[in-house]
Each structure stands twice: as structure tokens, then as C-alpha cells.
Amino acid sequence: MGSRLRELGSGLGYRAELAGVVGEHAGRIDWLEVITEHYLFAPADLREELGELAGRFPVVPHGVEMSIGSAGEVDGVYLDALAALVDEIDAPWFSDHLCFTRTEDVLLGLLAPLPRTRDVARELGRKARRVQDAVGRPFLLENITYYVDLATPLTEAQFIAEVMEHCDCHLLLDLANLDINARNHGFDPLGFLDVIPVERVAQVHLAGGIDGVAGEMSLDSHGAAVPERVWELLDELLSRTAVPATLIERDQNFPDDPAELLADLDRARARLRRPLARDGVADGRA
């Protein structure tokens, strides 16, 4: 599964609030990402709606509750249902996060950071391989936004690189998360790109958040247009490697006028189509 994945282009995170935009502007949306848990154990009419979407677009399920970082194995019932869902919509891949969302006693309901140690990374790699084998499609793991910066032996980038050493899965690199983490925790996002295996990035998330003021932390809200800093990170990433797919994530402050979302979609597509800068053809002189 280490081979290059299908080029999906510029996609949009599907939310019920965006159904109108998706219906009216299908020609400007190359593919859709849906939240896995919205459909995983859903009644048949909702699954039928998903099937209709999958008939019009490539659809990728993006999970938030696998909790691959929890102790023990991933829940078998969840995994079986995920495999069935992925198969039903013929998803090119599926994704979830490098995090934990629950322990045996507590459901946090959010993407919580893991202790970044080599042991945890190795264990995650093993579990990721197992999940990928069980589902039978490429599994992408996403970097989260974290506000608790555990004083761990590995940096986030080293931890991700270590996980990737132990599996043949791909990365879903959320550049908005990278931007926010870098600013909140004071590291260089380009240095982060130096450490992770960028050639394993199969998909990018792009979103806007809330900039922290007066020393407050910046927040990952998925509630604004993609900021310039994140576009610059995309340019930087694309100067280092080709990426098959980008995705605009929007979870709140849905704009009345879809122009903003559509402009971000077009901009991402244009970036993907631009030849790689490292080949000396970025300005179109090829």
C-alpha cells in the first residue's frame, strides 16, 4: 500500500449545511470527505443518501472516534462496520487521527495528544497496519491540533516519522493544524516538514481557525477561510512532494455566499496542478 494513491484533486468536507453548495456547484468540487461516524451505524435511508453522494463524487470516510491511540486493540465492531462502509461507497481510502479520544473509563470526545515515545509510536504503527489490513483500503493518519504539549522525548514530527517507520500507511497532513501547533508551541513548521516523510502525504487538510490574541492560544475552529499562512505551507509542501488530494474543511460559520469556499477550492486545485517548483517549472516556463 506504499504506492502513490489516486489523484482526487480539490475536495470539500461534506456537512449537511453544505448540501446546497455541493448540489449547485458540483463541477467545482472534485471529491468529498464525510465524517465516518455520521454514517457508520446510521439507518438505511441516511446510508442511501451517502450512496447517492458516492455515485456523484469520490467519497472518503474520515473518522473521529477510532481512537487508535487508546490502549488495546481498535474495537472490532467499529472496524467491521468501517470496512463495510468503505466497501459500500468504494472509497479510495479512509482516514482517522493520530490521537486517542477515550480511555477505558473516560470518553473525552476530542482528539487528545498521545505521549510521544518510541514505544507508543511502534505500537501505533502496528495497529495502523492491522486496521489497514482489516479494512482493505489505504489508511491515512492525520496530525491533530493539540493544546496540551506534553513534555515528551519525541517532537510531534519525530513521533509521526516514527509511526510511519512502523507501518506502510499514508499521512493526511492537516496544514492548518500544523500552522496552529507551530504558533501555539513555538516551533518552525518548515522544520516539521523536514522531519516527517513528506512523500507519504496523500492528502492535505486546509482550514481556517481563530488566531490567538494577547498571548492566548490560537484555536482550530474550522470556521473561517483558509489563511495565507496555510496556503504558504501548502506551497512549501508541494515544492517538496506531489500530493494527490487537498480538502477544504469547514465545520461552522458556514458562509451564506459560497463564493469564499469555492474560491478556496479553486485555489487548492490550481496549486495541485502547478508543476513542482523543485523541477524548476513552477513559473510555467517548462
Partner 1 sequence: MGVREALSGVLTRAEDLAMLRENPAALRRRYGLTEAELAMLAGAPLTGFHVTRQNVRRKLARKITSYLPATVAELEASHPALLAGFLAATVRRPQPGEGVTGSWEAERLVAWIDGRVSASLSDFARYELARVSLTTDRRAAGAARAARDTGPPDTGAGGAGRLRVSAAVRVAVFDHDVTVGGPPGLLPLRYTSVLLKRGWGTPAVRAFRVGEGTVSLLARCDGSRDAAQVVAAAGGDRGQTAAMLDRLIAARVVLATTGEEDRCESVRSSNTHPSRVG
From 26-34, 142-150, 163-171, 256-264, span contacting partner 1 (CB under 8 A)? 142-150
In the beta sheet, which residues pair with residue 61?
Answer: 34
Nearer to Fe ion, 116 or 250 (CB): 250
Rounded CA-CA distance 223/104 in Å is 32
Nearer to Fe ion, 64 or 282 (CB): 64
SS3 103: coil
55's enclosing H/E stretch is helix 44-56
Least distance CB 174 / Fe ion (angstroms): 4
x/- binding map, residues 176-205, to Fe ion, per CB under 5 A?
-----------------------------x
Residue type, 53: L
SS3 46: helix
Count of residues that bind Fe ion according to CB under 5 A = 2
Name the grid cell of 139: 489508511
Least distance CB 192 / partner 1 (angstroms): 18
Name the grid cell of 47: 446510508
Provide the 10 A C-beta neighbour count for residue 258: 17
Nearer to partner 1, 26 or 77 (CB): 77
Nearer to Fe ion, 162 or 174 (CB): 174
Given a contact cutoff of 8 angstroms between Cβ atoms, the answer to whether 10 and 272 are in contact is: yes
Q: Interface residues with Fe ion (CB under 5 A)?
A: 174, 205
Q: Interface residues with partner 1 (CB under 8 A)?
A: 37, 40-46, 65, 69-71, 75, 77-78, 81, 100, 102-110, 112-115, 146-152, 184, 217, 219
